[in-house]
Amino acid sequence: MKKGLSIVINVILFAIIVLLAWQVVKSIQAPIKFSNEQKAREAKVIERLLDIRNAEVLYKNANNKYTDNFDTLIKFCQTAEIPLVKMVSKQNLEDSTYFTVYDTIGYVKVMDSLKAGRDGFNINEIKWVPFSEPQQQFELEAGAKTSNLIEIPVFEARAPYEMYLSTPGGGIKEKEWKQRVDNVKEEKVSASRDSHTGEVDTDSPFYRYPGLKVGSMKEASTEGNWDKL
């Protein structure tokens, strides 16, 4: 074999090796990049869901129910005040025993409670899902669940993967990004698929919501599903 041809073959083989090595590196890095991007986005979504929960709890304390209307919730936060209560121990003069009373010593604006020292907090933004393109609102429900003949207020705010993972990030191509979103979604719902129809049973005890949510329409809970992961 001529020396020149041998050099050409070696160069081609080296290029193939480099290309294959690069493909291996990419296959390892892609899931890491996706996971990092997902976690970064979910941190922002969780922060906003917590704001919604805090606002809903204050609304319920004032109105004995939750609301499924963001405009109503935002207006409440902008205008309402909540009592500032102090626990005081007092003595019964008749028998010298002590008892506890709660005295209202003032009022604080709901907005001040929600801000909690955060600069740039905008109550009008709590209804929007971060990273959603086009911009979309959180899905918000409210109602009541009957337990032992007692109606208990419940609410649920949620954002499916399709909202905040709709556009690629981390330098991942669109096709691969979509496939990875489909994969994480399937991981959540696969155990609740009907073995015959293949349909997802949202009432199954194995069902996990494919996205992030806080509260529940099925039970009196204000937990976020990220607490259960």
Helices vs strands, H then E, count in the chain: 5, 5
CA–CA dist 81, 109 (Å, integer): 4
Closest CA to 54 of 131, 145, 121: 121
In a domain, 204, yes or no: yes
In a domain, 86, yes or no: no
Task: Read off the pLDDT of each residue in 72-80 and give the average, rounded to a whole number.
Answer: 96
Report yes or no: 169 and 36 within 8 Å, Cβ to Cβ: no
Read off the pLDDT of residues 13-60 as tens digits, 9 standing for 90 and up.
656 766 665 565 565 667 889 999 999 999 999 999 999 999 999 999
Question: Could you give the number of structural domains in the chain?
Answer: 1
Read off the pLDDT of residues 169-219 as tens digits, 9 standing for 90 and up.
988 999 999 999 999 999 999 999 988 898 999 999 899 999 999 999 999
Report yes or no: 161 and 185 within 8 Å, Cβ to Cβ: yes
Read off the pLDDT of residues 162-180 as tens digits, 9 standing for 90 and up.
999 999 998 899 999 999 9
Cis peptide before 160 (omega within 30 of 0): no
In a domain, 149, yes or no: yes
In a domain, 21, yes or no: no
- Residue 116 gets the label, from left (phi > 0), alpha (psi -120 to 50) or beta, of left
pLDDT tops 80 at residue 228: no
Mean pLDDT computed over every residue of the chain: 87
Report yes or no: 49 and 224 within 8 Å, Cβ to Cβ: yes
pLDDT bracket for residue 1 (50, 70, 90): low
Strand 98-109, strand 139-147: pairing = unpaired
In a domain, 91, yes or no: no
Give the range of the structural domain holding residue 175, as residue numbers without chain letter: 32-80+126-228
In a domain, 26, yes or no: no
pTM for the model: 0.81
Read off the pLDDT of residues 98-149 as tens digits, 9 standing for 90 and up.
767 677 777 888 998 898 778 889 999 999 999 999 999 999 999 999 888 8
Q: Which structure tokens are listed for 72?
A: 């109503």
In a domain, 57, yes or no: yes
Core vs surface per residue 160-173: b (16+ CB within 10 A) or e: bbebbbbebeeebe
In a domain, 7, yes or no: no
